[in-house]
Structure formats: C-alpha cells, structure tokens
Amino acid sequence: MIFKKKKDEPEPEEEPEPAALKKEKVKTCDVSGCSEPSVRTVSGEKARGAGLSVSKNLRKVHLCKKHYKEYKKATKKDRELERLGW
C-alpha cells in the first residue's frame, strides 16, 4: 500500500544523520596547561588525589596519554590494595 502525503505537511529538508556517522568532538586533557587529546576518563577526586592539577568542580577528568601514565604510577599502590580486597 502506498501512502500519499497530505497537502498540509511540509517536506522535510534533510534527514538527520545516523548516530554512527556523526563526527565526535575530540576532548582534550583537563590538566591545567595541557591541550593534548584525551585517551581516558577518571574520577576527578582520584585524579586530584594523585597530584594532578585539575579543576575542583570536575567530577570526571579527561586525561591524555602522558597524564594517564602519571595517574597510573601515582595510584598503583591504591589499586593494588583495592584488588586484594583489603
């Protein structure tokens, strides 16, 4: 069965792009003074605890490869203890 358009309905100009084809914004590292593209996202509280200089009002912090490596080194002992279930 073929449906005909009503005369009152305007024609859609363009169809919206599917989600898979939309361009994503490249997020940058949230550490002050760094503008590298982010690789990982970590808790803001844990990032500040690791000694990274990030804004206090951020809940999630985007980190570049370099700063994520620093974060991993600083939190290595904590993560190890967490894994053991202490």
DSSP bridge pairs for 37: 28
Model pTM score: 0.67
DSSP string, 41-56: EEEHHHHHHTT----T
SS3 62: strand
Range name among 20-24, 45-49, 50-54, 58-62 with the lowest pLDDT average: 20-24
Distances (CA, A) of 77 to 26, 38, 65, 81, 83: 31, 24, 20, 6, 10
- CA angle 47/69/74 to nearest 5° reads 50
R_g (Cα) of the chain, nearest Å: 23
Question: According to the model, what pLDDT value does residue 18 have?
Answer: 63
How is residue 84 written in tokens?
A: 């053991």
Is the pLDDT at 63 greater than 70? The verdict is yes
Give the tens place of pLDDT for each residue, 3-47: 666 666 666 666 666 655 656 678 999 999 999 999 999 999 999
